[in-house]
Structure 1
Amino acid sequence: MQNRITQLFNIQYPIIQAGMVWCSGWRLASAVSNAGGLGLIGAGSMSADLLREHIQKCITATSKPFGVNLPLLYAHIDQHIQVLLDEKVKIVFTSAGNPATYTARLKEAGITVVHVVSSTKFALKAQQAGVDAIVAEGFEAGGHNGREETTTLCLIPSVADAVSIPVIAAGGIASGRAMLAAFALGAEGVQVGSAFAVSEESSAHHIFKQRVVEALEGETILTLKQLTPVRLIKNNFYEQIKKAETNGASAEDLKNIVSKGRSKKGIFEGDLNEGELEIGQVSAQLKAVKPAASVITDIWEEFEQARKNIF
C-alpha cells in the first residue's frame, strides 16, 4: 500500500509502533522498522544520555526509518531536543504538550514532526503549528490520555474532516479489522501500542506482559484526570488512587502517590501490586507474547482479508 503516511515515512506498511515508556527501546523500534512499519523509541522514561545510546544502537540495528516519541511534559525536554538534533533523528512524534513550542525548531533541522492529540481542537492547533501529520488517539488507549474520553470511533472522523494533513488513528487498535475500520473513518495509518508493549522485543518485564495477555474485558480504567489521565489495569496501586480521589485528594497529593517510580515499578520491574500498569482497553484481545514482526504481519494480513470480505 502507498498513501500519504507510507510516503511521509518511507515505510512499507502504514503501521506505527507507539513510543511507550519502559517498553519502547531500540530493540523494539528496530524490529518494527525492519518488519516494514515505523518503530519509535520512547524517550519518556529515558535520560538524555540513555536516549542518545538507544538512538545510536537503533541506527546500527536497522537501515530502515525509525523515530523518537518525545513527551513534552518533562523538565529535561531541552536536553532531549538537543540529543535529537545532535544525532540527526529524522522523525519525531511529540505528545503531552504544546506542539507550537518545538515544532518550528525541529522542522528547521529537517525533521518530520507528528503530534499526538485527543481532540479536534488540539488537532487544529497542531496543524497550525506546522506538524506533518497527526495521531488522533481515542480514550481506549493506554498511557497518557484525553480528559474528554472521546472514543476512537468518534474522534477519527472528526479530526480527519477538520484537518488537511494525514491522520494516524490510535486507541484500541491491535488487529487488521480495527485498522480497516480506522481507514474507513478517514485515517491513513494506525499507531499500535498495547500489542507492541507485550511483544518479545519490548523492554517491559515478562511478568507485566503476561498480566496484560491475561487481562479480561473491563479490567482497565482511565484515572488520574486531575493530573494527566492514564489508563491502568486495576490493582492495589489503582485502589490507592481511587481511595485518595474519593477522599478529595488534591493534585499535589496524587503527585506524591504517583511520583514513587510507579510506572517503572509496574512495567519495567513487574510489580503487579504496587506498580502503575499502563495499557489500553484492547489488552483484553491480546492472547500471546509474540515477535514484533508477527504483530505487523498479523495486522496486515487480517486488514487485507477483512477488506476483501467487505468489498
Structure 2
Amino acid sequence: MANRITELFNIKYPLIQAGMIWASGWKLASAVSNEGGLGIIGAGSMYPKVLREHIQKCRKATNKPFAVNVPMLYPNLEEIMQIIIEEGVKIVFTSAGNPKTWTSHLQEKGITVVHVVSSVKFALKAEQAGVDAVVAEGFEAGGHNGRDETTTFTLIPMVREQINIPLIAAGGIATGKGMLAAMVLGADAVQVGSRFVASNEASSHQAFKQRVVEAKEGDTILTLKELAPVRLLKNKFFEEVTELYATNPTKEDLIKLLGRARAKKGMFEGDLEQGELEIGQIAGLINDIKPAAKIVQKIIEEFEQAKAEVASF
C-alpha cells in the first residue's frame, strides 16, 4: 500500500490514529504504530512533564514511527515544542492555529509537519506555510471542529483540486470501506479518531468508551460555535447548553456554563452527565471495544475486500 503518505512517514499502511485529548496516550499510539499505522500522542490534554513521559514510554514500546499532535492554542506551547525537539520526535501534527508559526522551525530540526484544516482556504494557507501534508477534517468529526459544517466527502475532493502536497482525510471514517471511499475522492491516507476511542489502549474512561459503543445515529451534535465548535454526545450538560441557547446567551454566559476541565470530567473521569463527551457521528457504527491492533487489522482487511469488490463492478 505504498504511496506518498506511507513514504513520508515510513509506515506500512496509510492509516493514522488521531491525537485525541484524554484518549491518545503512549499505549494507544505505540499499539497503532506497531501494527503498521501511525500512532499519535495527543498533547492537548497533557502538561509538559506528562507529555515528555508519554514520548519516552512510546519510544520504549515501539521502534516504529509515531507522532505528537499539538493544538497551537496550548498555553505552554514553546515548552511543548522544545520537549518535542529534545525528545527527538520526528513527526508533528499541528492544529488550531497558524501553521506559519512553527512549521519552518520544526522542519529545521528534521521534523515532518502536518497541519489539520477544515476548509480549502486553510488548506491553501497550510501549503503556503510549507507544511509537508495536511489533514482535511469534515464536520462529522468528534471534538473541536470547523465552523463551516463541510462534510468530509465534500471537503476532500475540493481540497485535492487546490493543493499539491499529500492529503489525509478525517471525519466520519472508521471502516475500511470509508477509507477506500476517501482515497477514491483524492486522499492519500485517512485519520481515524472515534474508532480508536473504543479501544483497550485508549486512556479515556471505560464508562465513556461504553457510551460511545451505545451511541446511535443522531446522538451527537455540533455546538458552542461562539467559543470553539465541538461535537458532543447528548447528555445532561448538552441539555443545559440547549436550554441556555433558548435565552439568547452572550459569549460570557456560554463560557460560564462551560467552566473548566469539562472535557476531562467527561472523557477521562467518566462523568457521563456533566462532562463533555466528544465523539464523531461515526460512533453509530462503532459496536465494540477491542485492541487497537485488531482495529487496524480489520480496517485494512475491509479496505482490501472493498477494493476487490469495486474492481468487479
Same fold (TM over 0.5): yes
CA distance in 2, matches of 1:89, 1:258: 34
Find the residue that maps to 1:190 and give its secondary structure.
strand
Quote how far apart the aligned CAs of 1:185 are. 0.4
| 1:49-86 CA distance string (max 9 Å, x none) | 10001001101110000000000112111111111111
Hey, what does 2:289 align to over in structure 1?
289
| 1:112-166 CA distance string (max 9 Å, x none) | 0000000000000000011000000000000110100000010000001110001
CA distance in 2, matches of 1:47, 1:234: 28
Matched, 1:62 2:62: yes
Hey, what does 1:215 align to over in structure 2?
215
Equivalent pairs, count: 311
Q: TM-score, normalised by structure 2?
A: 0.98
Find the residue that maps to 1:203 and give its secondary structure.
coil
Quote how far apart the aligned CAs of 1:230 are. 0.6
Specify the code of the residue in structure 2 equivalent to 1:169. Answer: A
Hey, what does 1:258 align to over in structure 2?
258
CA distance in 1, matches of 2:200, 2:306: 26
CA distance in 2, matches of 1:199, 1:47: 23
Q: TM-score, normalised by structure 1?
A: 0.99
Specify the code of the residue in structure 2 equivalent to 1:89. Answer: V
CA distance in 2, matches of 1:250, 1:56: 44
Find the residue that maps to 2:169 and give its secondary structure.
strand
CA distance in 1, matches of 2:251, 2:72: 19
CA distance in 2, matches of 1:245, 1:295: 38
Quote how far apart the aligned CAs of 1:250 are. 2.0
CA distance in 2, matches of 1:7, 1:268: 34
| 1:89-123 CA distance string (max 9 Å, x none) | 10000011111111111111110000000000000
| 1:223-271 CA distance string (max 9 Å, x none) | 0100111100001111111222221222222222223211011000111
Find the residue that maps to 1:209 and give its secondary structure.
helix
Quote how far apart the aligned CAs of 1:178 are. 0.4
Superposed, 1:1-311 pairs within 5 Å as 1-311=1-311
CA distance in 2, matches of 1:34, 1:93: 19
Specify the code of the residue in structure 2 equivalent to 1:274. Answer: Q
CA distance in 1, matches of 2:129, 2:183: 25
CA distance in 1, matches of 2:242, 2:196: 28
Structure 1 range deviating more: 283-292 or 250-259: 250-259
CA distance in 1, matches of 2:34, 2:255: 39
Quote how far apart the aligned CAs of 1:281 are. 0.1
Find the residue that maps to 1:202 and give its secondary structure.
coil
Give structure 1 regions of 4+ aligned residues with deviation exceeding 4 angstroms: none
Find the residue that maps to 1:208 and give its secondary structure.
helix
Gaps of 5+ in 2: none
Find the residue that maps to 1:130 and give its secondary structure.
coil
Quote how far apart the aligned CAs of 1:5 are. 0.4
CA distance in 2, matches of 1:242, 1:161: 38
CA distance in 2, matches of 1:258, 1:4: 41
CA distance in 1, matches of 2:6, 2:74: 30
Quote how far apart the aligned CAs of 1:24 are. 0.3
Indicate the RMSD between aligned Cα atoms, in angstroms: 0.8
CA distance in 2, matches of 1:45, 1:176: 29
Instruction: Determine what percentage of the aligned residue pairs are the same residue.
Output: 63
CA distance in 2, matches of 1:143, 1:194: 9
Cα gap change, 1:74 to 1:257, in 2 (>3 Å):
farther
